C-alpha cells in the first residue's frame, strides 16, 4: 500500500517542527536586534557581534572551550575506537561485563553525579582544577558516544575484506591501517564531531571541574544568563548554533556516504 500523509499527519509534522525550530530561529533573529532589550525589536544591527568580539572574557572562554573540545574529542576518538574494537572483535575477555557497563553508564548517569564524582577524584589525587581536569572529564564522557557510533559501523562490517588482505600476506597491523581503518573512517570522523559538539555544549560537568584558570563558554553564558538576558549572549549563541549546525551537516553527510558505501558493499 502506498503510504499517504493525511491532513492530521501533515499538521502534526508542521507543528512539531515549528515547535523545535521556532525558538532557535527567534534567538538567531534577535541576535541581530539593534535594541538593548532582548525581546523588543529595534531594527537590524550587527552591533552585538562587535561587542561580543570585543568582550575579552567571553572570547577567552570561547578559545578555552575550543581547545578543550578539540583535545578531548581527539583522545576520546582514539579511546572510543579502541573500546569499539574490543567490544566487537575480542569476544569474551575477562571483565567484559564491567567494561560494557562502564562504557554505557556515563550516558545514562545524570551529569551532576558524573561531574561531582570526577571533581572529588581530582581533589583526592591533588590535581588542580582547570583546563586539564575539564579535558579529562570530557574525554571520559564523550568516549562512550564515540564507542557507540564506531561499534555500529564495525557490526555491519564485511570481515571477508580483512580476511582477504590477511590471506594475501598482510600482517594484522597493516591490514588494520590499510583495510579496516579506511572503511570505518566515516564513523570515526562522525564520532569525533559528536564528541567535539558534546564537549562544546557541556555546562554541568565543566562547572564541577573548572578552576580559576579555565572557564568555558557555557559556564560564562550560564553565569550571564542568571544575571538576566543579554544581547551579547544572543550573538554568542547564534555563532555556537552556526558551528554546531555545520558540524552536524558534515557528520550527516559522512555517515550517509558510509551508509551508501555500506549498501554497495552488500551488493
Partner 1 sequence: MAERSLTRRLIAGLVPLVPYLWLCVLFLVPFLIVLKISLSDPAVAQPPYRPVFDWSDISGFFGGLDFENFGLLVEDDLYFRATLSSVRIAAVSTLLLLLVGFPIAYGMARAPERSRSLLVALIILPFWTSFLIRIYAWIAILKPEGLLNQALIGLGLISTPLDILNTETAVYIGIVYAYLPFMVLPLYATLEKMDDTLLEAALDLGSTPWRSFWTITVPLAMPGIVAGSLLCFIPAVGEFVIPDLLGGSETLMIGRQLWSEFFSNRDWPLASAVAILLLIILVVPIVIYRDVEARRVEARP
Exactly one of 52, 64, 68, 83 binds partner 1 (CB under 8 A); which one? Answer: 83
Taking CB under 8 A as the rule, which mask of x and - marks residues 4-43 in contact with partner 1? Answer: xxx-xxx-xx--xx-xxx-xx-xx--x-------xx----
- In degrees and rounded to multiples of 5, residue 42 shows phi and psi of -125, 30
CB of 83 to partner 1, least distance (A): 4
Give min distance, CB of 180 to partner 1, in A. Answer: 12
- Which residue is listed with cell 570585543? 54
Q: How far is the CB of 234 from partner 1 (least distance, A)?
A: 8
In whole angstroms, the minimum distance from the beta carbon of 93 to partner 1 comes to 6
**Of residues 111, 127, 189, 262, which one binds partner 1 by CB under 8 A?**
111
Task: State which residue, 148 or 183, has the beta carbon closest to partner 1.
Answer: 148
Restricted to residues 196-225, the positions that interact with partner 1 (CB under 8 A) are 197, 200-201, 203-204, 207-208, 218, 221-222, 225
In angstroms, give the least distance from the CB of 203 to partner 1.
5
SS3 44: strand
Q: Distances in Å between the alpha carbon of 225 and those of 44, 69, 218, 246?
A: 23, 22, 10, 25
Out of 152, 170, 241, 254, which residue is the one contacting partner 1 (CB under 8 A)?
241
3-state secondary structure 61-112: HHHHHHHHHHHHHHHHHHHHHHHHHHHHHCCCCCCHHHHHHHHHHHHHCCHH
Q: Which of 86, 127, 179, 189 binds partner 1 (CB under 8 A)?
A: 86
The runs of H, that is alpha helices, within 168-230 are 172-175, 181-201, 204-209, 217-227
Task: Select from 36, 50, 261 the least CA-distant residue to 158.
Answer: 261
Amino acid at each position: 500500500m502506498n503510504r499517504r500523509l493525511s491532513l492530521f499527519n501533515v499538521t502534526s509534522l508542521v507543528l512539531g517542527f515549528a515547535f523545535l525550530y521556532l525558538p532557535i530561529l527567534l534567538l538567531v533573529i534577535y541576535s541581530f536586534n539593534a535594541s538593548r532589550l532582548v525581546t523588543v525589536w529595534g531594527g537590524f544591527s550587527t552591533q552585538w557581534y562587535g561587542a561580543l568580539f570585543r568582550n575579552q572574557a567571553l572570547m577567552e572562554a570561547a578559545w578555552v572551550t575550543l581547545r578543550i573540545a578539540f583535545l578531548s574529542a581527539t583522545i576520546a576518538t582514539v579511546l572510543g575506537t579502541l573500546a569499539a574494537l574490543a567490544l566487537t572483535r575480542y569476544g569474551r575477555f575477562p571483565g567484559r561485563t564491567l567494561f560494557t557497563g562502564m562504557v554505557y553508564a556515563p550516558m545514562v548517569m545524570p551529569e551532576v553525579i558524573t561531574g561531582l564524582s570526577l571533581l572529588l577524584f581530582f581533589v583526592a589525587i591533588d590535581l588542580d582544577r582547570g583546563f586539564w581536569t575539564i579535558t579529562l572529564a570530557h574525554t571520559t564522557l564523550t568516549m562512550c558516544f564515540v564507542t557507540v557510533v564506531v561499534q555500529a559501523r564495525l557490526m555491519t562490517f564485511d570481515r571477508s575484506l580483512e580476511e582477504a588482505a590477511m590471506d594475501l600476506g598482510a600482517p594484522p597491523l597493516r591490514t588494520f591501517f590499510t583495510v579496516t581503518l579506511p572503511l570505518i573512517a566515516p564513523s570515526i570522523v562522525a564520532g569525533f564531531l559528536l564528541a567535539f559538539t558534546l564537549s562544546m555544549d557541556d555546562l554541568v560537568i565543566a562547572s564541577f571541574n573548572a578552576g580559576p584558570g579555565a572557564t568555558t563558554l557555557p559556564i560564562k553564558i550560564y553565569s550571564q544568563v542568571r544575571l538576566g538576558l543579554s544581547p551579547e549572549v544572543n550573538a554568542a549563541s547564534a555563532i555556537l548554533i552556526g558551528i554546531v549546525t555545520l558540524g552536524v551537516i558534515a557528520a550527516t553527510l559522512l555517515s550517509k556516504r558510509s551508509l551508501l558505501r555500506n549498501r554497495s558493499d552488500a551488493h
